[in-house]
Structure 1
Amino acid sequence: MQNTAHTNLAEAPEVTMPIELRPTDCLPELLAAARVAPVVRIPYLDQHAWVVCDRELVKQALTHPKLGKDVTLAPDWMRQPGQMVTAIPPPEYARMMVMSDGEHHARIRRIHAPVLSPRNAERWSERVAALVDGFLDNLDSTAGAQVDLITDYTHKIPLAFTSEMLGLPPGAERRLHDITEVMLYSADYALRQQAVGELFEAVQEWVRNPAGLREGVITGLLASSDGPDATVTEGEAIVWTLSLIINGYETTGSLISAALYEALRRPARERPHTDEAIAAWIEETLRVQPPVPHTTWRFALADLDLGGYLIPKGAPVQISLAAANLDPDEDADSFDARRRGRGHLSFGRGAHYCIGAPLARVQTKIALRGFLRRFPQARLSADTAPQWESEWMIRRMSVLPVLLA
């Protein structure tokens, strides 16, 4: 028990979670740690972070007024190179949506809303379908062979679409891919920090020299930054573009991969065939195969009582979406299409609900439907196993070997 004014509150038990990137799927370990108690403590950077695991407490934490997300709340000991890529550059330059609160967050969300709205997502579906058809045509040329869907299909779609949506110049996709691979998945934090700088420099170059850009989100933001009544600064155009890249393409690629994995590990007759079944399949994939097992950071604005456990003022807090999505008796291999993903929290809740959710769903629906219709007899390789890369905040399949038929 805590020897403080909160003597009636329990101290969250200490457990370990895989916080460093591993070439495995860490989800079973994350779920095992989450079952120890509704709130747990994790050793982190020689200090502690708190993790909220219980479903009802997770719902509370996602909307709790005393759990802030503003980057200025992050303690100095967390600001280590390569650790908090969403906390760079400093907030006085510009804030990212996922690391802001209050009017800062509301303003950024208002400006992004017309671009990332469900209506726009549907409007873009025709373009996504054209990209998907092109990548499927490429796969068609290798019919009968074994392919890696990660490199040949699932991640190509959101990378191409994000580049097009932003209006990036031709050739930018490869540059983005190479930088983000290091920034998100390198085990070397010095290299991660270097990659953050390279991405910042690339986006800064595009924003400051927009002549080579196609019409898209960046030119739209720049149009809002002209004149005496500018609503968007140059720095904000840069940082918000960074955020769309970091939080957009990689997680969508992971969702497409997981949805296809769940389909291809089953007989063709058990796979989704109608648009309604495909939509339900995607929601169930989000429930049991979340690309982001834990949310981005929150920070306690005061001593908090959460389910009878003390979260002290200033504590960094993670919220386990992966644990909250599952029933107590479920494990990491609990996909059941009949559940239709009911109750999952993979896109969050409240003011910070993922604004890009409609785009992620549209891209995944078109990618899953297109592949299963073009290759109805495709199956997982019997000789080469799928591979994963993950830690507590990000998770993806790194290799998905499939035989096309």
Structure 2
Amino acid sequence: MPVDPGPFDCMPELLAAARVAPVVRIPYLEEHAWVVCEPELVRTALTHPKMAKDITLVPQFMRKPGLMVGSQPPPEYARAMIMSDGEDHARIRRVHQPVLSPRNTERWGERVGVKVGGFLDELEQSRSSDSAEVDVVTDYTHRVPLAFISEMLGLPLEAERRLRSITDVMLYSSDYPARQEAVGALFGAVESWVQNPAPLRDGVITGFLAAADGPDKVTEGEVIVWTVGMIITGYETTGSLISASLYEALRRPSEERPGTDEEIKSWIEEALRVHPPFPHPTWRFPTEDIELGGYLIPKGAPVQVSIAAANRKPGEGADSFEAARGGHGHLSFGLGMHYCIGASLVRLEAQIAVREFLRRFPRARLSTGSSVEWESEWMIRRLSALPAVLN
């Protein structure tokens, strides 16, 4: 199983590993890691009290600059939500909770609708002819969440293009020095906005800064780390979900595509099941020897749980995309205390973006003869391009 990022699709190898054994030991860097594949064991691992995510438990061989874990700041500077446990994790969720409340999610949805309408207008106006080809990924599906997360955070208007170029290198380049440089560039950009908030619009960053004197005493370092985390999860993964959902629609005749709001919701859930943006969530580290399905995983060993494999239970036609299934039982947002705090907002963004695209361009289709390719980093998977004719 590859561990270096680059222009490959990780899904076939993740599913192949699941056919080997319920739990698989693989080479990773200069050591070994474990991958939990069997659906019920994945559920157990996601909620196991001794399967920790605390950044202090990361073994030294994984602290390689440019890797997602190796690029995490030290805990004395700030802890990220995805690499914390216990009271640290609970406190970070408390601070984020008001931003992602049901009332705010509804308000954010209105802003997503405005941005979606604008991008669809641009697509319509930019076509040179009815048969002109567009790349739905670069022209639409990744523009929507990038524009939205930028507004949500209150970033300067000129930040969007810079963020796209930085995150593309940081998450997908196979050049480790370039990745390390991109990580530094992203932290540097966010640090400059946090330390000099005058150019910022009102948004999440200014809200975090205002919480510095609140009961949870948010530090400047935490605002920087949390903002970086929201950029990655709020942009890359949402764009991946919108792309996958439209890919499954455009490869089918128009009469088989979703039309009603309920059909759109089921479509999005099935896309989450078949094409999880995070085929693996972030690493876990046992705080003692743990037995899973007859396999003994030693204390401190890095463990991944395969969401990709768990979402496709053998014998249920799980490899096929069937919208009527509605993604039943998928784990793409996790489980337990680390369940994705922004899941409702991600779903809403995807529903709006897919619904409005299909209504605006009901005869859109994949370009004849074009290839659709997926690219992966160890934890993130997305379509690199989606050539289509809007017709």
**TM > 0.5 between the two?**
yes
Q: Match for residue 395 of structure 1?
A: 381
Matched residue, 2:365: 379
Which residue identity does 2:189 align to in structure 1? A
Q: Is the 8 A contact 1:31 1:323 kept in 2?
A: yes
Corresponding residue number in structure 1 for 2:21: 37
2:41–2:292 Cα contact (<8 Å) kept: yes
1:67 corresponds in structure 2 to 51
The alignment status of 1:217 with 2:195, answered yes or no, reads: no
Give the equivalent residue in structure 1 for 2:283: 297
Alignment partners' CA distance in 2, 1:57 and 1:118: 32
Match of 2:178 in 1: 191
Matches of 1:30 and 1:170 in 2, distance apart? 39
Q: Is the 8 A contact 1:256 1:364 kept in 2?
A: yes
Contact kept? 1:294, 1:318, Cα under 8 Å: yes
CA apart distance, 1:119: 3.0
Aligned to 1:321: 307
Equivalent in 206, 221, 230 of residue 235 of structure 1:
221
Kindly indicate whether the alpha-carbon contact (under 8 Å) linking 2:171 and 2:377 is maintained by their aligned counterparts in 1: no
Report the CA distance shift for 1:86/1:212 in structure 2 as closer, same or farther (over 3 A). farther
Q: State the distance in 1 between where 2:219 and 2:13 align.
A: 43
Q: C-alpha distance in 2, partners of 1:161/1:391?
A: 23
> Could you tell me which residue of structure 2 aligns to residue 157 of structure 1?
144
Deviations for 1:249-286, whole angstroms, at most 9, x for unmatched residues? 00000000000000000000000000000000000000
Which residue type is aligned with residue 38 of structure 2? D
The one-letter code of the counterpart of 1:402 is: A
Aligned partners of 1:71 and 1:108: how far apart in 2?
A: 14
RMSD: 1.4
Query: Is 1:276–2:262 an aligned residue pair?
Result: yes
Cα deviation for residue 116 of structure 1 reads 1.6
Partner Cα separation in structure 2 for residue 87 and residue 354 of structure 1? 21
Q: Residues 341-384 of structure 1, C-alpha deviation per residue, up to 9 Å, x if partnerless? A: 00000000000000111111111000000000000000001121
Instruction: Give distance in 2, aligned partners of 1:204 and 1:391.
Output: 25
Secondary structure at 2:212 match in 1:
coil
CA contact (8 A) 1:284 1:340 kept: yes
Partner of 2:390: 404
* Seq. identity, %: 69
1:255 is aligned to 241
Q: Would the alpha carbon gap of residues 30 and 332 (structure 1) be closer, same or farther in structure 2, given more than 3 Å must change? A: farther
Task: Quote the Cα distance in structure 2 between the aligned partners of 1:328 and 1:78.
Answer: 33
Q: Which residue of 1 aligns with 2:156?
A: 169
What is the one-letter code of the residue matched to 1:401?
Answer: P
Measure how far apart 1:85 and its partner are: 4.8
Q: Do the aligned partners of residues 140 and 346 (structure 1) sit closer, same or farther apart at CA in structure 2, a change above 3 Å counting?
A: same
**In the alignment, which residue of structure 2 is the partner of 1:11?**
none
- When structure 1 is superposed on structure 2, of 95-104 and 79-88 the one drifting more is 79-88
Shift of residue 117, structure 1, vs aligned partner: 2.5
Asked if 1 retains the 8 angstrom alpha-carbon contact of 2:37 and 2:306, the reply is yes
| CA deviation after TM superposition for structure 1 residue 83, in Å | 1.1
Q: Which runs of 5+ in 2 are unaligned?
A: none
Aligned letter for 1:158? Answer: P
Q: Which residue of 2 aligns with 1:14?
A: none
SS of the residue 2:3 aligns to: coil
Partner in structure 1 of residue 79 of structure 2? 95
**Larger deviation: 159-168 or 142-151?**
142-151
Shift of 1:178: 1.0
Q: Structure 1 residues 143-152 or 207-216, which shifts more?
A: 143-152
Separation in 2, partners of 1:170, 1:193:
25
Listed as ranges, the gaps of 5+ residues in structure 1 are 1-16
How many residues get paired?
388
Q: Which residue of 2 aligns with 1:201?
A: 188
1:392 CA displacement: 3.7
Task: State the match for 1:76 in structure 2.
Answer: 60
Q: 1:312 to 1:255 in 2, by over 3 A?
A: same
Residue deviations 1:178-209, cap 9 Å, x none? 11111001101111111111111100100010
Tell me the distance in 2 between the aligned counterparts of 1:397 and 1:103. 37
Which residue of 2 is the match for residue 307 of structure 1? 293
Deviations 1:34-86 (A, max 9, x none): 11111001100110010110000000100100000000000111001111257
Runs of 4 or more off by more than 4 Å in structure 1?
330-333
Secondary structure at the counterpart of residue 384 of structure 2: strand
Q: TM-score, normalised by structure 2?
A: 0.97
2:7 is aligned to: 23
Give the Cα–Cα distance (whole angstroms) in 2 for the partners of residues 132 and 178 of structure 1.
Answer: 21
Letter in 1 for 2:259: H
Assess, with a 3 A threshold, how the Cα gap between structure 1 residues 223 and 86 changes in structure 2: closer, same or farther.
Answer: farther
CA distance in 1 between counterparts of 2:73 and 2:59 reads: 15
